[in-house]
Amino acid sequence: MCFEEIKFWERYNQVTIKQIENLLKEDKQTYLVDLHIHSDCSADGLQTVQEVIDRAVEKNFSIISITDHDSVAAYREVREIIKAYRLAGKSLPIIVTGIEFTVRYDEYGDMCHILKYGINPYNQILGSAIQRNKDAFWTRAHQQFERMKTNVALCYFASQYNINFSINEYKKYLENCKVSIPEYPSLIAYIYQKLAPYNIKLIEIVKQLEHDIEIDNCIERKKKRIYAVERFKKKYQGQLSNTEFPSRLLSPLLAPRGIDDDDYPNYPSSGSLSVRNYGQININELPNEGITVFAHPNGDKLQLMNNCLNIGGHLAALELNAANRHAHVKDIKDKSVELELFLTKGSDNHGLHYKAYEDMSFYEISKKELTFFLNELKKIYKS
């Protein structure tokens, strides 16, 4: 760990506070703020750090935060990009340091995401939490490769075309990726790469899964699998006969959300690549560093926010997320008022092709809301 880097980001965060204070002195009633953006330093990010910042400049944001999944690697690049902008005499938004943690929360439905702001990317406690999740991702990857041995669709095509799915090969595959931790997008991309040369249609994969579902003796899991496949066929009807399709379409088939074989220990594995618990950070084990915000809370789980007030030091805010289809804005606002929390806003934008900024009014926050955020930042550095 570099002492100079630690001191740089300590100074940087203090300067950020001053910048926001000066911003609040301007004769403005609202500010454009996006506190949830992913770069390609995130396992599922599809835009470079440079592209994130350039786009924020183009959209006239006052403040942004890059909040990659379990990673602060983007901030190595942020430092250099800020320097380049200033040398060129160009202005750019205030960039608040941030991260999005993948967190185990059983009552919530398996996992949730927690945002942290005003962090020092080189903080040792934060780094330990990040490393714990990275180690857990490898534990999950080993479990997933074991499950591939019982995934009927993958086993069928492996037999037909002499395909070998190997975790050692996957590790080598990751060495050529910018993000070398094993996440769902990279695992699915690896599988897609192995299948692609054989021109397999999506519908062929679906049919293999349907054959297996027919003989699944676990009634509860069978119902969930039928629903997942039917929903997939309806949503991607136009892609089913294609041999070329986005690799991400394999994810809801091979790793259907909410179907984890560990939930059915008395039945044979269905080969689902969804693994809920693998040693990741628990909701009550979050580091205290930074402002703690519950990301895109589900509407039907808002009552659980009452139990989260002490996580990560303390819960400061709930997020209004432009991509959240699982909650009404009013319900989140009402819960924030009830619990005396403030609100943050974020796009959850992962790439340039995302239509995240069609309604820029979504990102407007008031002077009062920004002051709440500033005061939380100040508390961090007073403590």
Residue 353: inside a domain: yes
Spatial contact of 61 and 34, defined as CB atoms under 8 Å apart = yes
Residue 255: inside a domain: yes
Residue 81: inside a domain: yes
Residue 276: inside a domain: no
Q: Are 119 and 141 in a shared domain?
A: no
Q: Please enumerate, as own/partner, the contacts of 13-20 that have beta carbons within 8 Å and a separation of 24 or more.
A: 13/97, 13/118, 13/120, 13/377, 13/380, 13/381, 14/381, 16/94, 16/95, 16/96, 16/97, 16/118, 16/377, 17/374, 17/377, 17/378, 17/381, 19/94, 20/63, 20/94, 20/370, 20/373, 20/374, 20/377
Query: In the listed set 202, 229, 263, which residue is the last one of a domain according to the structure?
Result: 263
Spatial contact of 257 and 276, defined as CB atoms under 8 Å apart = no
Domain that includes residue 95, residue range: 3-123+289-382
Please write the tens of the pLDDT for every residue from 111-146: 899 999 999 999 999 999 999 999 999 999 999 999
Q: Are 148 and 258 in a shared domain?
A: yes
Residue 343: inside a domain: yes
Q: Are 139 and 252 in a shared domain?
A: yes
Q: Bridge partners of 63?
A: 33, 94
Q: Are 243 and 315 in a shared domain?
A: no
Question: What's the domain count of the chain?
Answer: 2
Residue 270: inside a domain: no
Beta strand 291-294 pairing with 110-117? antiparallel
Q: Are 143 and 193 in a shared domain?
A: yes
Residue 253: inside a domain: yes
Spatial contact of 50 and 77, defined as CB atoms under 8 Å apart = yes
Tokens (6 digits) for 142 = 């080993």
Q: Bridge partners of 32?
A: 364
Residue 283: inside a domain: no
The CATH number covering residue 375 comes to 3.20.20.140
Q: Are 329 and 209 in a shared domain?
A: no
Q: Are 87 and 164 in a shared domain?
A: no
What pLDDT, on a 0 to 100 scale, did the predictor assign at position 352? 85
Q: Are 225 and 335 in a shared domain?
A: no
Please write the tens of the pLDDT for every residue from 8-41: 999 999 999 999 999 999 999 999 999 999 999 9
Q: Are 238 and 323 in a shared domain?
A: no
Q: Are 257 and 176 in a shared domain?
A: yes
What pLDDT, on a 0 to 100 scale, did the predictor assign at position 343? 97
What pLDDT, on a 0 to 100 scale, did the predictor assign at position 1? 55
Spatial contact of 288 and 116, defined as CB atoms under 8 Å apart = no
Q: Are 141 and 259 in a shared domain?
A: yes
Q: Are 44 and 161 in a shared domain?
A: no
Q: Model pTM?
A: 0.93
What are the residue ranges in the chain where pLDDT is below 50? none
What pLDDT, on a 0 to 100 scale, did the predictor assign at position 383? 61
Helix (H) or strand (E) holding 367: helix 367-382
